[in-house]
Every structure is written in structure tokens, then in C-alpha cells.
A and B are shown apart, each in its own frame.
Chain A
Amino acid sequence: MNLRRDVFQAIADPTRRAILLLVATQSMTAGAIASNFDTARPTVSKHLQILTECELLEQKQDGREIYYHLNPKKMKKVAEFIEPFRKMWDDRFNRLESVMKKYKTK
């Protein structure tokens, strides 16, 4: 399976990264996503299609609207998606360690 390559291709594009950022906290319709960009609507649709094809995004039908949201299952399989969370805490705790080492020697 070419998951890694597909994912990297998907996130290589700045607009697609911005789309992932938008839907990270809430599911949104294609229209709502497109309203955040100056890019033409069909271009945004193409990006959504790519992100959906590599399963980073999932579609959910709600009445007449289709909502896009991050696919947590797929995301979890890709270590990179949890690594920034770990890295954020690791950086914080490294700072804690150096702050307290300085404090100790005062």
C-alpha cells in the first residue's frame, strides 16, 4: 500500500494543509471550506477529492449537505500525526528541565 507516499503528496500542497487545519477541529461543508480561500471553488473541490482519496478526509452526508472531517482512524495509522503532539510535550518538558536546572544552581 502506498499510504505514506499518498499522504505526503496530499500534505505537500499548502492549500491542502490549510484545509486539514480547518477541519481539524470541526466538520465543514465544501462551501464553508472554500469560503476560506481566494482559490476558485473547483480548485478547492479538487483538493478535497485528493484528501478524500487518500482517506485523510471523510465525507458524511447530513440531509442535502456533505460534511468533511478528518479521518481519525487513518490519521492514527500514520505515526506523523501523533508525533507532533508527543514532540510538543517533549519540547515543553525539555524546557522545564533546563529551567529547573538553572533554578537549582542559583
Chain B
Amino acid sequence: MEQKTKIHAEDGKQEITITREFDLPVELVFKAYTEPELLEQWMGTKVLKLENKNHGSYAFETKNAEGKVVFKANGVIHETIPDQKITRTFEMENSPFEVQIEFLEFEKLTNDTSKLTIHTIYRSIPLRDQMLQLPFAKGINWAHNRLQDVASKLK
């Protein structure tokens, strides 16, 4: 089966492209990015601020079960064109990653399907490569924690 989400990351470049086709009209995909309560549901983070306008800003925050902030990010929306385009910066706070610039393009395929292309540019090639590896690193840690949970229940 063909993968719905594709990552294009060329060797030795400081950019990546993520593409995804949705069984949704383009208006709904755009809405998922601009309505805070909808964005919160699929991103799994709290939206502290989201100004959908040129030069508006946004801020996300995720807390764990104990109420400790585990993820905090913010950025500026450089340009937004309804159902077509969002150009924004993104920066993870308290991390070694520098700000990145994201070009989100929303495309109508049919009345019920659409395509999202996210072109992200990082400060440097090593920073891009680290960002690509982050979920791997987190993943092995989570897998490890889950294994420990299971193991401790077996005791």
C-alpha cells in the first residue's frame, strides 16, 4: 500500500518536504490548522495563542499528567491565505534547535480530497538531521519505558 504521508529529505540539504493526501476537502484541512480547539485535538498540545493573520503569532504548550510542561513551541505567521497557504516560523523552546521556517501549501485535488505540502527549512544541515532523528531517539526511549512498565507488572 502506498504511504499517505511521505518525507522527502535529500542528503546534505538543510530542508525537508512532508506531503500528505487527505480524504477531506481542502477547506477542512485548512480549518484543522486554524481553529485552536481542532488543532489541539490532532496535535495533542494546548494552544495558548493562535492569531491567523499576516504577522500574527502562535504558542503551543503540552503538559504531562503531573502538570509539568514537556513541550513548548512558538512562532510567527508570516503570511496566511485561506485554504491555500500558511508561511510561518516554528521554534521549540528550551531545546538546542533553532527557529525553522515552514511553508504550508494546501491544494484541492477533488471536492473531497486534498493535499498538504510542508516545506521546512532549518538553520543548518546538522540541525535538520538532528530534527529528523528526534522521534527515533524519543521512540526508543518510550519503547524502553513501555518495556519497563510491562516488565514491572510481571514481577
Contact = CB atoms under 8 A, between A and B. Distances in A.
Interface residues of B, number: 42
B133 A100 contact: no
Contacts, number: 112
A18 B145 CA distance: 11
Interface in B16-75: 18, 20, 22-24, 28-29, 31-32, 38, 41-44
Contacts of B97: 25
B28 A100 contact: yes
A32 to B, nearest CB: 14
A70 to B, nearest CB: 6
- Chain A's interface size range is 35 or more
Contacts of B144: 14, 17-18
Interface of B: 3-7, 9, 11, 18, 20, 22-24, 28-29, 31-32, 38, 41-44, 95-97, 116, 126, 129-130, 132-141, 143-144, 147-148
B28 A104 contact: yes
Interface string A73-106: 0011000111111111110111111011101100
A18 B139 CA distance: 11
A27 B133 CA distance: 14
